[in-house]
Amino acid sequence: MSDWVKVAVDAMGGDNAPAETVKGAVEAVNESNKVKVYLVGLKDVLERELAGYTYPGGQIEVVHASEIIETAEPPVMAIRKKKDSSLVKALNLVKDGTCDAYVSAGSTGATLVGGQVIVGRIKGVERPPLAPLIPTATGCSLLIDCGANVDARPSHLVQFAKMGSVYMEYVMGVKNPKVGIVNIGAEEEKGNALVKETFPLLKNCPDINFIGSVEARDIPAGAADVVVCEAFVGNVILKTYEGVGLTLISKVKEGMMTSLRSKIGALLVKPALKTTLKAFDLEQYGGAPMLGLKGLVVKTHGSSKANEIKNSILQCITFTEQKISDKIREKIMTQEVVSDPKK
């Protein structure tokens, strides 16, 4: 099938690789006939893992890589020295056009460096951001940036808003997505120097639906579809989201087991509670795409299980079919030039 969306998976990256990575890849091809997965890693190890599964012939291919980049390794050095690593070879499959997308639960630093150095940035994109989807009361929002650019400039944040709007409209189907900048208050004059400089630039962008400042407490309520911030703030928001969610679930379970009455109540509310909690499960959205590159690069959690790997692979289908990289290129190239004295 020539029109498969082809995804290169760093099968050796992550805490649970290769077992969960292979399982996720198999689940993805069993769920969709639109995708072909290239599992990159130690061939004999991957073939042993695959031997225990049934999947459509031709939709999974193993590509041998003799090296593995560990999470603790310095990213730039690892990319330079380990040319035959699963991470580098998977990125090169995107660079040479063999694959449309790359997915990894491995080293975040190496993926960020490799994405820019190997896959390459779209012309005009200053800084590619990591942009995960996070669950909200109204569905989900795109948090951009959450880990790639801790020292962003105003012009970077403007591009984040534009790229995030493209993603939410064409991948998630949100028409005219609301864009908000993370701030410590709703007033325009509040915030640090970066936010104060960026606010008027976003306000004067004719091609985004900017709604102003968004406080952190309003993000879970779905106040904005695209939540713009630099990576330090974004990562704090993301990790707090995850930590509060896990703690809340733990305390709810603990409370339900305190007495016979609470245990009976737990049985009665279990179906509804399960449905509600599933809606706030980050795994269902897959990994975070790195926007602004010539090909799709998706970074999943290091602790990803099969379900998150599967969903990360499947999200590549819509991204590729909708030609998101091309739409981002058009958005950036046709934008009005926004002056930034620090650029």
Check residue 285 and give its pLDDT. 79
Looking at the predicted structure, is the pLDDT value of residue 341 above 70? no
Residue range 96-144, pLDDT digits in tens: 999 999 999 999 999 999 999 999 999 999 999 999 999 999 999 999 9
| Domain co-membership, 18 together with 100 | yes
Check residue 121 and give its pLDDT. 95
| Domain co-membership, 299 together with 239 | no
| Domain co-membership, 152 together with 278 | yes
Q: Tell me the average pLDDT of the chain.
A: 92
| Domain co-membership, 260 together with 312 | no
Check residue 335 and give its pLDDT. 60
Has residue 61 been placed in a domain?
A: yes
| Domain co-membership, 46 together with 144 | no
Local confidence band at 271 (pLDDT 50, 70, 90 cut-offs) = confident
Section 329-341 average pLDDT: 64
Cβ–Cβ under 8 Å, residues 257 and 266: yes
Single-letter residue type at 293:
L
Residue range 24-71, pLDDT digits in tens: 999 999 999 999 999 999 999 999 999 999 999 899 999 999 999 998
Looking at the predicted structure, is the pLDDT value of residue 334 above 90? no
Higher pLDDT pick, 93 / 246: 93
The CATH number linked to 212 is 3.40.718.10
Has residue 89 been placed in a domain?
A: yes
Section 246-260 average pLDDT: 87
Of 282, 311, 330, the residue that ends a domain is: 282
| Domain co-membership, 141 together with 244 | yes
Q: What is the pTM of this model?
A: 0.89
Cα(324)–Cα(171) distance, integer angstroms: 8
| Domain co-membership, 142 together with 251 | yes
| Domain co-membership, 151 together with 186 | yes
19: exposed, middle or buried (C-beta count within 10 Å: 0-12, 13-18, 19+)? middle
| Domain co-membership, 115 together with 101 | yes
Cα(202)–Cα(198) distance, integer angstroms: 6
Based on the structure, what is the number of domains in the chain?
A: 2
The alpha helices in the chain, defined as continuous H runs, are: 19-31, 43-50, 75-81, 86-95, 108-114, 154-170, 193-203, 231-256, 260-279, 306-321, 324-333
Cβ–Cβ under 8 Å, residues 14 and 103: no
189: its two tokens:
């004059």
Has residue 287 been placed in a domain?
A: no
Check residue 87 and give its pLDDT. 97
Looking at the predicted structure, is the pLDDT value of residue 320 above 60? yes
Closest to 244 measured CA to CA, from 285, 289, 282: 282
Residue range 149-176, pLDDT digits in tens: 999 999 999 999 999 999 999 999 999 9
Q: What range does the domain containing 169 cover?
A: 131-282
| Domain co-membership, 38 together with 160 | no
Of 282, 302, 326, the residue that ends a domain is: 282
Closest to 186 measured CA to CA, from 220, 211, 165, 222: 211
Q: Among 57-66, 144-153, 237-246, 266-275, which stretch is predicted with the lowest mean pLDDT?
A: 266-275
Looking at the predicted structure, is the pLDDT value of residue 186 above 90? no
Has residue 301 been placed in a domain?
A: yes
Check residue 1 and give its pLDDT. 55
The CA-atom distances, in angstroms, between 333 and each of 58, 122, 126, 129, 204 are 38, 10, 12, 17, 17
| Domain co-membership, 21 together with 141 | no
| Domain co-membership, 49 together with 35 | yes
Of 264, 282, 300, the residue that ends a domain is: 282
